[in-house]
Each structure stands twice: as C-alpha cells, then as structure tokens.
Amino acid sequence: MTRALFIIDVQNDFTEGGALGVDGGAAVAAGITRLLQQHRGEYALVAASRDWHSGENDNGGHFAVDAEPDFIETWPAHCVEGTEGAEYHPDLDTSAVDVHIRKGQGVPAYSIFEGTDDAGDSVTEVLAARGITDIDVVGLATDYCVRASALDAVEHGQRVRVFTDLVAGVAADSSTAALAELGHAGVVIAESTVLDEAAS
C-alpha cells in the first residue's frame, strides 16, 4: 500500500469571509495542519489543489454574470488567479505539500483530476510516478470538489477514504447526500482518528 493525501481547495475564498466561504472551512485548514504534524510520514505523497480561475471571463459559465448564482452550476466570482482569495488559507501549513495542483483556468473544474501540477503533469501521471494505491481526501467543499475528487479517485482504481472531520460543505443536505453517494461508490467514510488507531 502506498498512500497519498489529497487536500482539496483549502483557499481563502472557500473559508469564512471569502467569496464563497463555507462554515467550518478555517477549522478544516487547522485540522489538516494537525493531521500533517502527526501523520505526514504515513503519506508517500501530499497533493494540494487550488481552484484557479481566470479574471478575464466567466470561466465557461462557472461565474454568474448578469444573474444571481444558483450555487449549483453558477457561482459568485471566486479563486481568481493571483488574488488573495485564491491563496491557501493561512492556517493550512503548506510546507508538507509535495505537489501543488491548479485547476479551473477558464473552465469549471471540481475534481483535482482536472488539474495539473507546476510542471504541467496530470494528477494521473503524478500518482503513477509515485506508485500510489490509496488516497485519503480532505478539504473543501464536501458536496462539490471533495465529492468530485473522491469519485474520480475511485474511477482511477484507487482505494479511497474521506475524513468527515476534515471536510466542510456548502449546504448540509447536499453534503449528507454526497457522503452517501461516495459510500455507495466504495469510498470509506471515516474520521481521521483512524490514523491514530492504526498507529497504536
């Protein structure tokens, strides 16, 4: 077993006070930092994604223009490249991150698999290069980018866990539904304390 950690979109715009902030986002950032302090050695790869949109256009209809966002397919402008909102939340310690993935340049992109690293390599290529077989997924938001990333990971043949204490969602109903859907798809829904149990 060779395990990776995916840290999905822990960015200022997705945390409290951001353009599309979710409740509990900052706590998720701090919680992931604690996980890394205690369990970094158990991961062969730590990959963090950022939504990274163009400020020049509506990113393929992803940003609501001349209409109210529906918060399903259209959203307030968020995570525009080079802005403070697109940066990682300050409570997330990024020093342990091996690979930074950016996605959504000019298009809607929910899954980390839609992004590339700084060298332009796809996530699939990065996972193959490290021989990854198992992935733990944490971050924001449960009902959108965490959901899409975990489903894609299963699709790519990975054994996947999502830690419910280290995710936060846009809405309660859709977050509950997303976790149920992930469970049906074969994702293990757990709390990050399973790492402590495994270590003892």
At 34, list the tokens. 């604690």
When asked if residue 114 is in the footprint of Zn ion (CB under 5 A), the reply is no
> Residue 167 — φ and ψ, nearest 5°?
-135, 160
103 is catalytic: yes
Burial label, 94 (beta-carbon count in 10 A; 0-12, 13-18, 19+): middle
Indicate the residue among 6 and 43 with the shorter CB distance to Zn ion.
6
13 is catalytic: no
Which residue is closest to Zn ion by CB? 51
Indicate the residue among 171 and 189 with the shorter CB distance to Zn ion.
171
Q: Where in 29-58 is the site for Zn ion (CB under 5 A)?
A: 51
Indicate the residue among 47 and 86 with the shorter CB distance to Zn ion.
86
Of the listed 13, 51, 79, 103, which one is catalytic? Answer: 103
Q: How far is the CB of 120 from Zn ion (least distance, A)?
A: 20
| Whether 175 contacts 149, CB under 8 Å | no
52 closest CA partner among 119, 101, 118, 19: 101
Bridge partner list, 125: none
Q: How far is the CB of 41 from Zn ion (least distance, A)?
A: 32
Instruction: Considering only the stretches 5-13, 97-105, 162-170, 178-186, report the one whose residues sit in contact with Zn ion under the rule CB under 5 A.
Output: 97-105
| Whether 127 contacts 133, CB under 8 Å | no
Indicate the residue among 51 and 136 with the shorter CB distance to Zn ion.
51
User: Residue 173 CB: number of other CB atoms within 10 A?
Assistant: 10
Instruction: Give the interface with Zn ion as residue ranges (CB under 5 A).
Output: 51, 104
